[in-house]
Amino acid sequence: LLPGDDDGCEGEGSKLPAVEEGELKAGRDAVEFELMESTHAFLDRFYISRIGIRVLIGQYLSLRQPPVESYVGIICSRTSPYEIVKRAIDDAAFMCTRKYGDAPEVIITGRLDMTFPYVPTHLHYIMLELLKNSMRATVEYHGIDADYPPIKVVIADGSDNEDVIIKVSDEGGGIPRSNMKRIWSYLFTTADPEIQEGMVAFNENVDHSIDSPLAGLGYGLPISRSYARYFGGDLSIMSMEGYGTDCFVYLTRLGNTREPLPI
């Protein structure tokens, strides 16, 4: 299954770990990232196509179940970014505390009362990835048992806004400018090699749950961006090395965008 899938379909759970293993083996080879643009483009198309397939399967299966209030299939007409961010914070804090014994505080501000039509599982996956990265960076930059600066989440929306925008800001030391292009690669990760090996052999049923390691194979960010782009949104990252990182999630309201299926 792709991360964030929750459609009850069986039989495809072993495919993603197989792709991950191939990516990991390719990443070991001494190949410059600049020479692998075609590989990255193929993986982008591959994952977006699979997202589309999973959305269709999930929508079909959900519509055959008893109706749920505010839901049409897997789409919630009153998706609350605030509630989803809170759940993602709880999951990320659990994983961070398990790894380091503590987790930074997260402060949520902005439009806490707004709702809009979206797929909650997609948004939860995106926010969990960003918050995991921010918590890990903050703890490792400031040191265990330090007085961590809070991670800040801002939810922005207005009646005339084109997008719903969520910003995640941390003071985790930032990302070197030389690595900014690489963070969108499926072959780039700062995780320990032993964790990478373990993730490939990990049980696919819990591979992307809170039971998985805080940092894994490196495909979290690019797949998060694919999830955002699938419904016409985007994910961008601005970093200040030596200080911290700002992540911006742009989400369009469902119903006014076309499916960006690649050719």
Per-residue pLDDT at 25: 59
Averaged over successive runs of 10 residues, the pLDDT of the chain (263 residues) comes to 50 51 56 70 90 95 95 96 97 94 97 94 96 96 94 88 93 93 78 49 49 62 94 95 97 75 62
The pTM for the full model equals 0.83
Per-residue pLDDT at 36: 77
CB 117 within 8 A of CB 77: yes
Residues in the chain, total: 263
Task: List Cα–Cα distances, 100 to 11, 103, 130, 146, 210, in angstroms.
Answer: 35, 8, 18, 11, 15
Q: Which residues contact 208 (CB under 8 A, 6 or more apart)?
A: 1, 3, 4, 125
Q: Is 254 exposed, middle or buried (0-12, 13-18, 19+ CB in 10 A)?
A: middle
Residue type, 56: L
Per-residue pLDDT at 161: 81
Per-residue pLDDT at 187: 72
Per-residue pLDDT at 242: 96
Its sign, for the CA torsion 246, 106, 155, 257, is positive
Per-residue pLDDT at 108: 98
Nearest to 181 by CA among 86, 87, 80, 40: 40
Task: List Cα–Cα distances, 136 to 168, 214, 224, 226, in angstroms.
Answer: 14, 7, 17, 22
Per-residue pLDDT at 24: 56
Per-residue pLDDT at 253: 79
Per-residue pLDDT at 214: 56
